[in-house]
Chains A and B, each alone.
Chain A
Amino acid sequence: MSVLRIQNLQAYYQSTLYGVTRNVKAVDGVSLDLRANEIYGIAGESSCGKTSLIKVVFGAIKPPLTIIGGRVLYQINDRDFDITQTNDETLRQMRWKQVSYILQGSMSLLNPVRRVRKTFWDFTKAHEPVIEPEKFEATTREHLNRLGLPAEVLDSYPHQLSGGMKQRVAIALATIFQPKVILADEPTTALDVVVQRGVLQLLRRIQQETKNTLVIVTHDMGIHANIADRVGIMYAGRIVEEGTVKHIFSEPRHPYTKHLIQSLPKIGDKSKRQSIPGAPPNLADPPAGCRFHPRCPYAKPICSVQTPELSPIQDERRVACFLLTKENAHVS
């Protein structure tokens, strides 16, 4: 059952500076279908548009980020709505209760001069004005307990907690209303490996407890391999490949994904790794056709002219590449 459908979304950064207007095509024709009870990973390098995509999905659409086309449809509690069209009031009701957003520096959600309990109280009160203190205390403790965090953190000030604990408490705060969709943007990037593992465990635990949809955006392929169910690979504003985590890592099909996965070093293997020649394009002026074609060793003439559609090639697998969808190329 799908919870969130993104249809041909285009979101550009439009800026006018001393008389010159520019469009940076951060998200350019992305379609995704996210289901209930899954962890969906979005992988991509810096500036590939993955953060912009998540911002739009969360309804954080502020200039210069502008929606050019497409829809982001939520289906929550039998209500359908398009987040690109909703008003501020609906957005306010929906945020944190239905959809949560966890960032790299989520620690900043915690008020540094207040005990953690006070931050939880203010946060709860803002969304459920009628809650009683006893009920709040009980539900908060239960929530922390369920996530395996000690209830004592409520009595601490944020600066007394370690970085990893702060990030986990912030995640607990962001998920206190058990949202249907959790969007996590590089949730562990600034953290150490050991702490990273703890935070990911927490995210996975939340997802398993509430059977909701967790979208995890990161450049770190190791994270996707370890917690995602399905993975979408993003390159220069578009999704180029999508599939189950097993398929993506064991038999990548798109040339970009192939190279990306082959270039990852592994402990116990000193054999030579090569990286992809060239560099990702500037999204203010992306190449025509397939945006990977200037770096692709298999590029054909059509690749620089026409844009390949993200089309299904096997069950659960979609790829945007003319090498794999030749028929389509001839038809269009």
Chain B
Amino acid sequence: MSRNQPLLDIHNITKLYSVGGWLSRNKIAAVADVSLSMLAEEPEILTLAGESGSGKTTLARMVLRLVEPTLGRILYKGRDITSIRTRKEQIEFMQDIQPIFQNPFEAFNPLKKLESYLFETAKNYDSRENGSIEDRIESALNLVGLSMREIRGRYPHELSGGQLQRVSVARALIASPSLLVADEPVSMIDASLRMSIVNLFKDLKDRHNVSIIYITHDLATAYYISDRIAIMQRGHIVEIGPVKKVLAEPFHPYTRLLRESILEPNSETAWDEEITLSTIETKEFARQGCKFANRCDSRLPICEETEPPLSFVDGREVKCWLYGVQGKHDTAS
């Protein structure tokens, strides 16, 4: 691949799902017109954050080719991943992009020994360095702080959630991928072990040049490990930029709401003011204009009618009329 080609380049992808019975067929955009790119030269951790139904998981599954986009293109190292047909192409693709799943207890068949997955992976992917299958497994396990001695002959239920998640990261690393897609990888891990997994991801990026798409609803860990963050709401990316900027000083009213709703583990900052919740969910998907308008405190007349564009403001992109062309003069302060 050429030097300046992006690692991952997502062009205006949309995923539509049909809802309702035979009489009232409605289409809902789980992911609506999303574009994203990740650079190849410099590994990064990109967080996709948002509530359930925001489309973050669907977006990740499209990147993994588990879900086919309705519209748009996903280029991986310049190559359209929807054009993959043969098993050989699929293996090449999977050698580069590997998933980490949410529930480590579900990620392995409970009736099978863990090592079988490691051997299977090592057998199916060519080594980029030399070494026997056993060596490759051992070195991947070492990277996550385990060794074959601890795994051999073990079934999933014999390990803790934290250890299992390490095994699943090790399995992914055997393929020596350039990109990991991790969907809520620590939400099922006990608090006392969680940070060790989070630190592992950070380490993989810093020292082993693996880029990571980290999907989460937990903004505190997102702040801790990621470089960039994309906030999703109802299928759209509403704000994307460096995590320090976006979370320290959120621009989009939705990001602000998310930021304020975090329960800080600190008894000094307990919140007092009350918030409004949406009563009925499907209404938000179907509305015209900004999907957040009905819950937004600072909405303008235009928000109800026209969808705002993504505009560059202060080192980030925001999808909000307050920062768009037409809203600019309203928020001079």
In-complex A–B contact (CB below 8 Å): yes
A162 touches B265 (CB 8 A): no
Stretch at the interface among B175-183, B218-226, B306-314: B218-226
B51 in contact (CB, < 8 A) = yes
Chain A residues with CB below 8 A from B247, complex form: 267-268
A246 to B194 CA separation, bound complex (whole angstroms): 24
B37 in contact (CB, < 8 A) = no
Chain A residues with CB below 8 A from B52, complex form: 163, 192
**Chain B interface, >50% SS class:** helix
A196 touches B263 (CB 8 A): yes
Choose among B51, B163, B217, B275 the residue that contacts A198 (Cβ–Cβ < 8 A): B275
CB distance from A29 to the nearest CB of B (A): 21
A259 to B280 CA separation, bound complex (whole angstroms): 41
A326 in contact (CB, < 8 A) = no
A276 touches B274 (CB 8 A): no
Residue of B nearest to A248 (CB): B267
Chain A residues with CB below 8 A from B281, complex form: 162-163
B4 in contact (CB, < 8 A) = no
Chain A residues with CB below 8 A from B279, complex form: 150, 161-162, 165
Chain B residues with CB below 8 A from A227, complex form: 270
B139 in contact (CB, < 8 A) = no
B192 touches A259 (CB 8 A): yes
A residues contacting the other copy or chain, number (CB 8 A): 52
B51 touches A279 (CB 8 A): no
A150 to B52 CA separation, bound complex (whole angstroms): 24
B192 touches A260 (CB 8 A): yes
Indicate with 1 or 0, residue by residue over B290-318, a CB within 8 angstroms of chain A CB atoms: 00000000000000000000000000000
B2 in contact (CB, < 8 A) = no
Known: A162-B278, A164-B277. A267 touches B248 (CB 8 A): yes
A273 touches B195 (CB 8 A): yes
A221 to B270 CA separation, bound complex (whole angstroms): 12
Chain A residues with CB below 8 A from B192, complex form: 45, 256, 259-260, 263, 275-276, 280
A246 touches B258 (CB 8 A): no
CB distance from A121 to the nearest CB of B (A): 22
Chain A residues with CB below 8 A from B264, complex form: 222, 225-226, 266-267
A197 touches B194 (CB 8 A): no
Choose among B195, B199, B217, B261 the residue that contacts A197 (Cβ–Cβ < 8 A): B261
B191 in contact (CB, < 8 A) = yes
A196 touches B194 (CB 8 A): no
Chain B residues with CB below 8 A from A279, complex form: 160, 162-163, 190, 193
B residues contacting the other copy or chain, number (CB 8 A): 43
A266 touches B265 (CB 8 A): yes
CB distance from B20 to the nearest CB of A (A): 12
Within 8 A of A (CB), among B144-171: 160-163
Chain B residues with CB below 8 A from A256, complex form: 192
Known: A275-B196, A280-B192. A193 touches B266 (CB 8 A): no
Known: A161-B280, A198-B275. A222 touches B190 (CB 8 A): no
Indicate with 1 or 0, residue by residue over A255-293, a CB within 8 angstroms of chain B CB atoms: 010011101111111101111100110000000000000
A220 in contact (CB, < 8 A) = yes
CB distance from B209 to the nearest CB of A (A): 20
A246 to B265 CA separation, bound complex (whole angstroms): 11
A268 touches B248 (CB 8 A): yes
Residue of B nearest to A194 (CB): B261
Known: A162-B278, A165-B277, A275-B192. 8 other contacts (CB 8 A): A162-B277, A163-B52, A192-B51, A201-B274, A225-B265, A225-B267, A267-B248, A280-B160
**Chain B residues proximal to chain A, CB less than 8 Å:** 51-52, 160-163, 190-196, 198-199, 217, 219-221, 223-224, 247-248, 257-259, 261-267, 269-271, 274-275, 277-281
* 5 nearest A-B pairs in the assembled complex, by CB-CB distance: A222-B263, A279-B160, A192-B51, A45-B190, A275-B195
